[in-house]
């Protein structure tokens, strides 16, 4: 029996036997380090907010925040969104010694995603925005400014939606979301991609059972490009057309998500030849140490698959290793990595294999108040959709106090420049908690709004909610249960497809998101309070489910929900 060792920077793992369902793996895959950026604010550094667990301060710091997106342009250069340092870095991945160029974001811009088409730069900042680089500068540092109108090109909007950057309807009611229980997810019906090799490509998807999909590709003038078939061993998650390179090879981003949360969850890029035959796959090296980012993979003009790996010590651009297949259309890469550690609270005298939570207060006991899912979602939507005017007391001094350890000030990003203006969403506030009524009253009376300094001690003079305080409030708890304490009041779901509105995705010691529903293309829609993905407030977001599970998030269900025991699964 043959085995293959997949080498990854800093680790290795044993892959499945050579003879797999539907294909034979032909060779090992090795991920190459293309470029590594140190953490910092210098010209060859990238901003990073370390939120790793600290037993001396057992509060939720949120998900560690680094660059949110990478994109490979038509000229072969890679663009990296370094939003912590408020800039875009542009560099040649083939010239490791060459200095990266810095493109400074416009004043007040706080984007969370990046797309580059025909060397035009677009960012997502609550909506798509087009940017233009100034002609002035020393060639290494230039500034970006907004163009006259936001982009409306379908390919640009489709590229943003590809990674979950899209405007979600604010018209959904809690009743409508609760009624989504039992709805069976499908696939994205249509996608438009401005490819490197075939120009504008239209993709139409059709589900083939739980584990498969067919994709028809056409050019802009309706000429057929190819018909693809893809299957996974368990359940197929989201599927997205990423690109077509200059050799005509086609790249799909897809997920395998089994019914067992402890099963082999993995995300991968499948490569098809110009004739539509599956040639092999690139397994994306997610693990719990990799920080959450919006656009974590991009395809170069020559077909290199680049992965953005952000950790507390460095930000790396990896060239993901390719595993060729000899036959078949089933992508079976199990097991991709050692299984994610169990982050349940440790039993007395026992060990979980994850971060040590010994001597950590898991939270006060609370009487569980019976509530239904409609009430949970209704409360969450009120936090996300709350519209309020930023008075001088809520805005605070200008300039505001700097945070310790990284390039940021106390005021959440979405409030910058919004004095005496209306904004939407309750602010993120490190270590804060409270009901919506309490927060609204405090803001109206001039209390300082929000605090994103997660490396400093929490402040008593600010108001808002951090990630777990938000989830605690939606679950009707007057006590703030941190991500470490949530396993004491919620049970882990064995099947991630059993997630229902009002459940949560929890990563103890880091971050928690309230689950809303599965999107039609099988991604997870959530509401969260976040410094990065929400720009410092409570907002709705969409994530590929496999990227969350592989990073250590666990699907959990609050025990106080009235239908906790007999709810129907969303997807079976």
Count the alpha carbons within 13 Å of 390 in the hemisphere toward its beta carbon. Answer: 22
Predicted local distance difference test score (pLDDT) of residue 7: 39
pLDDT at 204 over 80: yes
**Cα distance between residue 445 and residue 428, in whole Å:** 18
Residue 544 and residue 164 in contact, taking contact as beta carbons nearer than 8 Å: yes
Q: Which two tokens stand for residue 296?
A: 């974590």
pLDDT band at 170 (very low <50, low <70, confident <90, very high): low
**Cα distance between residue 80 and residue 70, in whole Å:** 5
**In this prediction, what percent of the chain has a pLDDT beyond 70?**
79
Predicted local distance difference test score (pLDDT) of residue 60: 60
pLDDT band at 56 (very low <50, low <70, confident <90, very high): low
Cis peptide before 115 (omega within 30 of 0): no
DSSP-assigned letters across all residues of 33-54: EEEEEEESSSTTEE--B-----
> Residue 548: in which H helix or E strand, if any?
helix 545-550
pLDDT at 332 over 60: yes
Supply angle C-alpha 328, 333, 334, rounded to 5: 130
pLDDT band at 134 (very low <50, low <70, confident <90, very high): confident
Segment 423-464, tens digit of pLDDT? 999 999 999 999 999 999 999 999 999 999 988 889 999 999
pLDDT band at 530 (very low <50, low <70, confident <90, very high): very high
**Cα distance between residue 536 and residue 452, in whole Å:** 7
Beta-carbon neighbour count of residue 181 at 10 Å? Answer: 16
Domain boundaries, the chain: 30-55+62-166+176-324, 373-558
Which one is predicted more confidently, 13 or 543? Answer: 543
Residue closest to 234 by CA, chosen among 139, 335, 90, 344: 335
Predicted local distance difference test score (pLDDT) of residue 15: 29
Segment 207-241, tens digit of pLDDT? 999 999 999 999 989 999 999 999 999 999 999 99
pLDDT at 161 over 90: no
Predicted local distance difference test score (pLDDT) of residue 2: 25
pLDDT band at 338 (very low <50, low <70, confident <90, very high): very low
Residue 25 and residue 492 in contact, taking contact as beta carbons nearer than 8 Å: no
Of 114-123, 272-281, 542-551, 563-572, where does mean pLDDT reach its minimum? 563-572
pLDDT at 365 over 60: no
Predicted local distance difference test score (pLDDT) of residue 454: 87
Predicted local distance difference test score (pLDDT) of residue 61: 57
Residue 506 and residue 559 in contact, taking contact as beta carbons nearer than 8 Å: no
Which one is predicted more confidently, 568 or 29? Answer: 29
The pTM of the full predicted model, rounded to 2 decimals, is 0.84
Predicted local distance difference test score (pLDDT) of residue 30: 86
pLDDT band at 165 (very low <50, low <70, confident <90, very high): confident
CA 541 to chain centre: 8
Which one is predicted more confidently, 69 or 570? Answer: 69
pLDDT band at 182 (very low <50, low <70, confident <90, very high): very low
Q: Specify the DSSP class assigned to residue 413.
A: G
Q: In 177-235, which ranges are E strands?
A: 190-195, 199-208, 212-219, 224-231
pLDDT at 296 over 80: yes
Which of 121-125, 381-385, 558-562 reaches the highest mean pLDDT?
A: 381-385
Segment 86-110, tens digit of pLDDT? 999 999 999 878 889 999 999 888 8
Residue closest to 59 by CA, chosen among 477, 347, 342, 362: 362
pLDDT at 149 over 80: no
């Amino acid at each position: 029996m043959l085995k293959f060792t997949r080498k990854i920077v800093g680790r290795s793992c044993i892959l499945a036997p050579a003879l797999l369902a539907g294909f034979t793996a032909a060779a090992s895959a090795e991920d190459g380090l293309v470029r590594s950026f140190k953490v910092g604010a210098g010209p060859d550094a990238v901003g990073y907010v370390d939120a790793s667990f600290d037993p001396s301060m057992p509060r939720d710091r949120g998900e560690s925040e680094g660059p949110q997106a990478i994109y490979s342009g038509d000229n072969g250069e890679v663009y990296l969104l370094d939003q912590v340092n408020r800039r875009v870095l542009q560099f040649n991945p083939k010239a490791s010694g060459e200095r990266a160029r810095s493109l400074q974001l416009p004043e007040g811009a706080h984007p969370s995603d990046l797309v580059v088409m025909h060397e035009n730069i677009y960012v997502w900042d609550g909506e798509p925005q087009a940017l233009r680089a100034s002609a002035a500068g020393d060639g290494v540092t230039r500034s970006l400014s907004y163009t006259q109108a936001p982009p409306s090109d379908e390919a640009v909007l489709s590229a943003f939606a590809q990674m979950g950057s899209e405007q979600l309807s604010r018209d959904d009611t809690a009743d409508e979301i609760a009624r989504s229980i039992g709805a069976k997810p499908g696939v994205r019906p249509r996608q438009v991609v401005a490819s490197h090799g075939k120009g504008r490509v239209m993709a139409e998807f059709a589900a083939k059972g739980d584990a498969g999909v067919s994709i028809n590709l056409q050019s802009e003038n309706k000429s057929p490009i190819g018909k693809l078939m893809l299957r996974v061993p368990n359940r197929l998650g989201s599927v997205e057309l990423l690109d077509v390179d200059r050799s005509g090879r086609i790249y799909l981003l897809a997920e395998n998500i089994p019914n067992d949360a402890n099963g082999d969850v993995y995300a991968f890029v499948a490569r098809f030849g110009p004739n539509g035959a599956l040639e092999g796959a690139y397994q994306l090296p997610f693990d719990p140490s990799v920080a959450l980012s919006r656009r974590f993979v991009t395809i170069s003009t020559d077909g290199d698959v680049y992965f953005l790996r952000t950790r507390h010590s460095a930000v790396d651009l990896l060239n993901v290793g390719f595993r060729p297949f000899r036959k078949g259309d089933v992508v079976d890469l199990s097991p991709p990595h050692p299984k994610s550690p169990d982050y349940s609270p440790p039993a007395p005298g026992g060990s979980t294999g994850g971060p040590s939570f010994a001597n950590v207060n898991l939270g006060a006991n609370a009487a569980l108040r019976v509530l239904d899912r409609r009430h949970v979602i209704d409360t969450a939507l009120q936090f996300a959709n709350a519209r309020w005017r930023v008075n001088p007391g809520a805005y605070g001094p200008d300039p505001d106090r700097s945070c310790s350890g990284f390039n940021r000030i106390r005021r959440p990003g979405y409030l910058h420049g919004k004095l005496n203006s209306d904004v939407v969403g309750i602010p993120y506030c490190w270590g804060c908690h409270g009901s919506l009524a309490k927060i609204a009253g405090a803001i109206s009376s001039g209390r300082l709004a929000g605090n994103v300094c997660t490396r400093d001690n929490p402040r008593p003079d600010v108001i808002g909610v951090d990630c777990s305080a938000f989830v605690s409030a939606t679950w009707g708890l007057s006590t703030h249960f941190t991500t470490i304490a949530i396993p004491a009041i919620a049970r882990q779901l064995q099947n991630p497809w059993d997630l229902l509105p009002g459940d949560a995705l929890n990563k103890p010691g880091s971050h928690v998101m309230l689950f809303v529903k599965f999107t039609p293309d099988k991604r997870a829609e959530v509401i969260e309070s976040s410094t990065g993905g929400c720009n410092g407030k409570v907002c709705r977001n969409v994530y590929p489910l496999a990227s969350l599970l592989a990073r250590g998030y666990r699907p959990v269900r609050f025990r106080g929900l009235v239908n906790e025991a007999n709810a129907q699964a969303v997807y079976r």
